[in-house]
Amino acid sequence: MFTPRLAVFDMDGTLLDSVPDLAACSRELLEICHLPPLTDAEVRTMIGNGVPTLVQRVLDAGHKKLKAITSQPYVLPFTKAEAVQKFMELYTPRATRLSRLFPGTQQALEQLKSAGWLLAVCTNKPEVAAQRILDNFGLTSLFAAIGGGDSFAAHKPDPAHLLGTIKQAGGEVSRSVMIGDMPPDCGAATGAGVRFVFAAWGYGSSALAAQADAQAGSMMDIPSVLPVLLPA
């Protein structure tokens, strides 16, 4: 039985420029915790390993800034788990208030879909947030599966996350490609035995290109890069 080719996309830094909203919510959380704010550029370096890691990095950076200006002891007003919950309460309703799709994203996805590709998302962002973002941009119907960071027992860079997303989408490993911008994307693809395309327009270091099977300069290049890497 013929299985269509499957393109699996990371979300933050690949489909979506999410820094503006993630940074704004990080600053709101820091304010609640009575910690100094972070810039968009600072938060950008913390994205890619899921919300719990992002929140931990944000709180650590805020605490470090506080220690630089006062010697007073500091105690977080709630647990780390509660901080993550608070962040999601701030972020989920406003995930697309300032964030935008990268140029050419919708056109590229529609072009791939028209060419017979299956499409999926594999993101460390919680599934409910990823689903809401795709709904808000009118993209949900293009995707056969949305594998969030909490959709399976593991998340990127664990290959089980990507493998679960591929299975959910009805794809096959040998006919799948992962497109992403960060080491967790590359790590999941390598561990799963899936070809990896480095999204050079995203948040990751250009050094990651050396570990990729191919790279693309923009989402608009993806429809031409993928068929070369994985012919019909």
What positions carry a catalytic annotation? 10
Block residue for tokens 């999941």:
188
Which residues have C-beta within 8 Å of that of residue 231, sequence separation ≥ 6?
Answer: none
**Does residue 87 contact residue 29 with C-beta atoms inside 8 Å?**
yes
Q: What is the three-class DSSP state of 214? A: strand
**Does residue 147 contact residue 162 with C-beta atoms inside 8 Å?**
yes
Q: How far apart are CA 150 and CA 164, in angstroms?
A: 12
**Does residue 219 contact residue 197 with C-beta atoms inside 8 Å?**
no
